[in-house]
Structure 1
């Protein structure tokens, strides 16, 4: 486990002059995580936090001031690429640099582990913090929200589980689009019953698109999804959406993927907000025009 690290703030930077302790996250922190998500109006569930702790137990962090746990962040490493997410601070403790210290600690953890490209999806509130730490803007990700229509088709494509041989095809397709080997994450979504994947193949049986989902606290998060053609992208997203007729849904789409945006708007989805995908270190080599739905801000 990571060793706790103290960051001291001068004067009255923190209530009560307490030092800031950053320590590894534990399952006992779930009530804190749940409260911070609810206060921020985010969509993550306890299962999302547990998944983060399973995938990278040393990279999930909690900030403490005195006896109070006041902030969180998570890391997830895929080889030389890492993601920072879930940077949340108790409203009563904001404005004291806690978010920045959490991110600094997360960066240090990943750099020690050999991560060369650190990425995150920044909210409007977080962008200033990340720029000060050296992050650069990569591209915009637009969040759409809507209700899955009752007229959506049922599952017309092949369903793939983590135990299937075709999971190799799903993971390979995902890696071509994201530039990152995320198989362990994709398998975990299925093994925890958070998702199953639909796979679209061409007339020769070669994979050309896939999509998954997870059920969140407030809505179904459509994604991850990747496709090489517009026809495949529309097919896999329609298939996933068809499994949640009448349900509130969210989907995060790179602004550069115009066909995916046209699909979302054609299905009645509206823009909720946007994120800026940012990176520190080596520039990632992904294909946002092939990314039809991100996994959410937690894993890209």
Structure 2
């Protein structure tokens, strides 16, 4: 019996919208503007598998540098699963990233398969869910720090701070992430004379299909993280869901989520093919994105 040919190629920008829609159907609750944000990270980093003219599989393979990459959006349409189409697009993505340390946030059901492809567990990320305050309040910030709108602050300083928490420079993505619609971004600045205007925290909250996600959430101390998270939450519509993806290896991040009466609802495994990057996980309170790091 004749079968339609299976073709794997780079996605167009419009096809990234399809990947986002499939992610929503899987319950991943993407942001309203994630397609634009993610595409900016690497326009050549999205693959689609087509059976004839029908899209049946997607994956992202974001090349940040020649040393580091991130895999995500590994989805096969339900009716085509178990027929070998997924492993073909997976292999194409892995081939495109050859020679790099590859990271991903793997759902529980796929973690054993990822191990077979050379990934090893670094730590778990836990998605916590809570709700915004019933009334929008002006966030309270202590005297030793100032909170400012990140869009008005020195972009290069924000990029430098983001680089401390991520294995590669990602200037283009950060610029898009900061300036996306339906979002708010803050930086926390130190007020003491010897440290004036030094970034000690940075975070973004964005509107999603359901509620809002905070990410990233970086801060030099647990107190700064709490102040920043409280300020970001004030952007959310009252009583709407708010999500924070927390690295479980940071107990202060887990404590922050629990202090804000959030409950665990989902988990992934941060996995790498190479050595785990040396990152200040004790200052990382919220992951930017499970899809692209």
Q: TM-score range by the shorter chain?
A: 0.7 to 0.9
Take 2:18 and 2:49, find their aligned partners in 1: how far apart are those partners? 11
Please state how far the C-alpha of 1:230 moved relative to its aligned partner: 0.8
Distance of 1:291 and 1:74 partners within structure 2: 24
- Mark the CA change 1:197 to 1:274 in structure 2 (over 3 Å): closer, same or farther: same
Q: Which residue of 2 aligns with 1:5?
A: none
- Aligned-partner Cα distance in 1 for 2:69–2:4: 31
Return the alpha-carbon distance in structure 2 between the equivalents of residues 288 and 100 of structure 1. Answer: 32
User: In the TM superposition, what whole-angstrom CA distance separates every residue of 1:186-225 from its partner, at most 9, and x where no partner exists?
Assistant: 1111233354421112223222111112211112110111
Q: Give the alignment partner of residue 147 of structure 1, picking from 128, 131, 141.
A: 131
Structure with larger RCO (C-alpha < 8 A, sep 6+): 2
Partner of 1:82: 69
Is 1:180 matched up with 2:168? yes
1:131 is the counterpart of 2:118: no
Matched residues in 2 for 1:235 and 1:45: separation?
23
CA apart distance, 1:174: 1.7
Unmatched 5+ stretches in structure 1: 1-11
Q: Does 1:24 align with 2:10?
A: yes
Q: Contact (CA 8 Å) 1:148, 1:247: kept in 2 or not? A: yes
Asked if structure 1 preserves the Cα contact closer than 8 Å seen for 2:19 and 2:73, the reply is: no
- Contact 1:198–1:210 (Cα < 8 Å) also in 2: yes
Q: Residues 61 and 72 of structure 2 are in contact (CA less than 8 Å); yes or no, is this contact kept in structure 1?
A: yes
Deviation at 1:31, TM superposition (A): 6.1
Q: Is the 8 A contact 1:179 1:287 kept in 2?
A: no
Map 1:59-98 → 2, pairs under 5 A? 59-79=45-65, 80-98=67-85
Check conservation: 1:141, 1:255, Cα contact below 8 A: yes
Partner residue in 1 for 2:100? 116
How far residue 267 of structure 1 moved from its aligned partner, in angstroms, is 1.0
Query: Secondary structure of 1:198's partner?
Result: strand
Q: How far apart in 2 are the matches of 1:273 and 1:285?
A: 25
SS in 2 for 1:36: helix
Would you say the 8 A contact 1:222–1:240 is kept in 2?
yes
Aligned pairs, how many? 281
> 1:292: which partner in 2?
285
Structure 1: distance between partners of 2:218 and 2:232: 13
Compute the TM-score of the two structures, normalised by the length of structure 2: 0.87
| 4+ aligned runs moved over 6 Å, structure 1 | none
Give the whole-Å Cα distance in 1 for the aligned partners of 2:199 and 2:220: 9
Report how far residue 164 of structure 1 moved.
3.5
Equivalences for residues 3-22 of structure 1 within 5 A = 17-22=3-8
Q: Contact 1:225–1:237 at 8 Å: present in 2 too? A: yes
Which stretch shifts more, 195-204 or 45-54? 45-54
Task: Determine which of 265, 271, 281 is the counterpart of 1:278.
Answer: 271
